[in-house]
């Protein structure tokens, strides 16, 4: 990257590909649009950023769900211990409810992970499709 004061890419909203595009322009190859190639790579990076954001949000949702599950489990243990349940039928009912709740929570977590993965893949797939179209367009004679 250039150290010129006029090409500071750390400023908000600056084009981080500006210096790269200048470098590409030095190597003028007949029939190859270097600015289109640089723009395509910029779009690739945006798609990856979107995919990473989707994964991050999914991980946050999973962490929140796990924290909620832990909180509910602790509350359940405290209420069972405080209630002094000695009837075997009530103990069996509490255990059944705990298993049902755990299975429901696991299903919710699987859905969160699946949605996160689908969102990330959708972003990457969309960009891959666009890439293929850009390549087709570049290959056509002008």
CA–CA distance, 135 with 51 (Å, rounded to integer)? 22
20 falls within a domain: no
Q: Is residue 4 included in any domain, yes or no?
A: no
Q: Determine the Cα–Cα distance for residues 75 and 131; give it in Å rounded to an integer.
A: 52
Determine the average pLDDT of the residues in 1-8.
44
According to the model, what pLDDT value does residue 133 have? 87
Using the predicted structure, report yes or no on whether residue 10 has a pLDDT greater than 50. Answer: no
Q: At what angle do helices 34-83 and 18-26 cross, to 10 degrees?
A: 150
Q: Does residue 58 fall inside a structural domain?
A: yes
Predicted confidence (pLDDT) per residue in 28-44, tens digit:
666 667 777 778 888 88
Whole-angstrom Cα distance, residue 136 to residue 141? 10
Q: Are 113 and 37 in contact (CB under 8 A)?
A: no
Confidence class of residue 81 from pLDDT cuts 50, 70 and 90? low
Q: What's the structural domain count of the chain?
A: 1
pTM of the model: 0.58
Residues 65, 112 contacting (CB under 8 angstroms): yes
Looking at the chain, how many residues does it have? 142
Q: Residue 60: pLDDT band by 50, 70, 90 thresholds? A: very high
Q: Are 110 and 61 in contact (CB under 8 A)?
A: no
In a domain, 79, yes or no: yes
Summarize pLDDT for 95-130 with one digit per residue, the tens.
Answer: 788 788 888 888 988 898 898 889 889 988 998 898
Q: Is the pLDDT of residue 23 over 80?
A: no
Structural domain contains residue 19: no
Q: Is 7 part of a structural domain of the chain?
A: no
| Cβ atoms within 10 Å, residue 118 | 13
Domain ranges, residue 59: 32-139
Query: For residues 135 and 128, is the Cβ–Cβ distance under 8 A?
Result: no
* Three-class DSSP labels, 12-64: CCCCCCHHHHHHHHHCCCCCCCHHHHHHHHHHHHHHHHHHHHHHHHHHHHHHH
- Residue 10 in any domain: the answer is no
pLDDT of 4 over the 70 cut: no
Instruction: Answer yes or no: is 13 within a domain.
Output: no
Rounded to an integer, the average pLDDT of 10-36 is 63
Which tops the pLDDT comparison, 23 or 109? 109
pLDDT of 51 over the 70 cut: yes
């Amino acid at each position: 990257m250039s150290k010129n004061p006029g090409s500071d890419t750390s400023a908000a909203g600056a084009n981080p590909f500006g210096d790269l595009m200048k470098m590409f322009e030095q190597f003028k190859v007949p029939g190859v649009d270097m600015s289109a190639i640089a723009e395509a790579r910029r779009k690739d990076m945006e798609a990856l950023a979107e995919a990473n954001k989707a994964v991050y949000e999914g991980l946050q949702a999973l962490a929140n769900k796990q924290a909620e599950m832990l909180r509910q489990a602790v509350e359940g243990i405290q209420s069972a211990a405080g209630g002094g349940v000695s009837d075997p039928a009530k103990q069996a009912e509490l255990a059944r409810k705990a298993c049902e709740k755990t299975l429901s929570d696991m299903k919710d977590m699987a859905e969160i992970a699946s949605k996160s993965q689908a969102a990330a893949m959708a972003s990457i797939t969309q960009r891959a499709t666009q890439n293929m179209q850009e390549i087709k367009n570049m290959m056509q004679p002008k």
